[in-house]
């Protein structure tokens, strides 16, 4: 069962939550998949989401890529959620560590996911620690980029539909790291 470890009220009245648990159990408008540009959901978070959600997710992803081409960091794709308890899966392409300009690419993936959730008129979204698995992005740095991007996007582009953003993390160490990073962000929001 997923549990909220830390909660922060954002300036526009939204909430940002650090959650420990299973992303595929989130009952929100959309979960974010840490995807590759071809939406080939073989391993990591993407593989888990695809297996638990069923064949529809990969089939719709393949159709998306055929129609639109590879997915960029800035403009995620989305599909139905198949058998998952959410409505959509937003497929965000995070950077591979060492590819250059990783912080900006990760911020673009997070911002693009939030903007797409708003466009889809969703009230809640849940995302993982994008790029910190097989893409090798250092977790501490990713925590700063992901949480600051959520905070800054809420300030610069107040959402009318999106009211809740949940960062769902599986293990104790990553959950603690994101929680501590959120504490620092709340104490010093302009850093």
pLDDT band at 189, cuts 50/70/90?
A: low
Percent over 70 (pLDDT), the chain: 98
Query: CA distances (Å), 9 to each of 32, 33, 37, in order?
Result: 21, 24, 33
Q: Is the pLDDT of residue 96 over 80?
A: yes
Tens digit of each residue's pLDDT (9 = 90 or more) over 65-92 = 999 999 999 999 999 999 999 999 999 9
Q: Give me the domains of the chain, ranges plus CATH numbers.
A: 3-186 (3.40.220.10)
Cα 133 from Cα 45, distance rounded (Å): 8
pLDDT for res 190: 59
Its pTM stands at 0.95
Residue owning tokens 């962000």: 185
Residues in CB range of 127: below 8 A, 6 or more apart: 23, 31, 32, 92, 110, 113, 146, 165, 166, 167, 168
Per-residue pLDDT, averaged over 157-183, amounts to: 93
Q: Is the pLDDT of residue 114 over 90?
A: yes
Percent over 90 (pLDDT), the chain: 86
């Amino acid at each position: 069962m997923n549990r909220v470890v830390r909660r922060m009220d954002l300036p526009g009245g939204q909430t940002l939550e650090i959650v420990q648990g299973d992303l595929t159990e989130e009952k929100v408008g959309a979960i974010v998949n840490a995807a590759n540009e071809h939406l080939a959901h073989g391993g990591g978070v993407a593989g888990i989401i695809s297996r638990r959600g069923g064949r529809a997710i990969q089939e719709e992803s393949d159709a998306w890529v055929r129609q639109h081409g590879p997915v960029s960091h800035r403009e995620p794709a989305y599909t139905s959620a198949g058998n998952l308890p959410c409505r959509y899966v937003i497929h965000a392409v995070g950077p591979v560590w060492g590819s250059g300009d990783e912080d900006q690419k990760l911020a673009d993936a997070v911002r693009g996911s939030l903007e797409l959730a708003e466009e889809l008129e969703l009230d809640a979204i849940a995302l993982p620690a994008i790029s910190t698995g097989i893409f090798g992005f250092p977790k501490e740095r990713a925590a700063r980029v992901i949480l600051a991007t959520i905070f800054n996007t809420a300030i610069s582009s107040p959402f009318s539909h999106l009211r809740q953003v949940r960062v769902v993390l599986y293990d104790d160490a990553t959950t603690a790291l994101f929680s501590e990073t959120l504490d620092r962000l709340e104490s010093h929001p302009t850093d």
